[in-house]
Structure 1
Amino acid sequence: AAESLEDQARGLVQAVSMFKLADGALLTSDISGSSATDFDAMVAAHDQWKLRLRNYIDGVGEALDPAVVACDDKCTLGKWIYGPGHRHASAPAYQGLRSNHADFHRCAAEVIRCNDGGAKENANALLYGDFSTLSSLTIKAIRQMQMSLSGGANKGASYQAQPKAEGSIKKIPAHLSDTDDEWEEF
């Protein structure tokens, strides 16, 4: 089940790879240089868990085993965290990622257990409460790790767009502007 989602995520990344993106937007080279870590596919795979759990609760999804889902070392991200990524264990971004990712998987398994135990309301409450929060935290942590490894200017900082610096907006000198211009009101 998890492998199927990972295959879908890889397919999606491959499909959009034809578009030109900024360097490092899709793949961040691992320190060893021998492989690449596809953080975007990891984000997509973990983001899909909301839909998978929603479908499971609604009775239209795939069969999910809470014991398997609870394991945080079986998905591509988990294999990276406990494999090649472990070399970054001293980095704050790594610690946050490992912790959030483990909590994410434990909570996803708990949603399944609640539903399987007949507590559909509790499963929904977990899905839209704790799981939603942990999903956001995990995705943010993946992006922080990506930024840290790509040598971003804000190593370890939150993955977010930086506001435009004040004064970076070009002003047209008065003698070059047409005061009768119909666009003046804008």
Structure 2
Amino acid sequence: MTAPAQVGPSPVGGGPAVSADREEFLADVGDRIRAERHARGWTQDQLGRRSGLSRKAIEHMEHGRTSMPLLGLADVCRGLGVTLSALLSESWEMPTAANRERGLTPRQAHILRVAASTGLPLSQVAARVGTTRQVVAARLSESYRLLGVAHLPQRERRAAAVRVAEDRGLFNDRHEVDAA
């Protein structure tokens, strides 16, 4: 029986360096995938859906039981919202509460949902959610930045933000009602 692989940078420079022990490398990458998934509070099924892979494929990767095809590993990284280079980097760190992907506040989620579902101008969205146009604009801008869609053309941004938020499980209807 082999010792479990350590997650995080190794004492000799970090990163899952390809070594003579291929199993250890695969276990280290698998541990990183599992740590990233756990940091987001996702199941293997959820990561599989986000990655376009089966739960079984995610399980095999996390346990180092398969040589990971590059495209499969890239799909998992896309599903996690991390780059392949970041996952394999010597500077990769175990996700913690301080460096996890930040979600939307209940207020941001509520404003985004109202703005996207109605298609109204900001002044009318503001009237519906009981605030000013400036506050709506600020909350939407921050939401777009957090969701990685700020670079998109304005006409596409709202719908893309909703899709990303739903894919990441960032909408919580109960909290949105509380924010209203």
Bigger radius of gyration, 1 or 2?
1
Q: What's the TM-score once normalised by structure 1's chain length?
A: 0.29
Q: What's the TM-score once normalised by structure 2's chain length?
A: 0.30
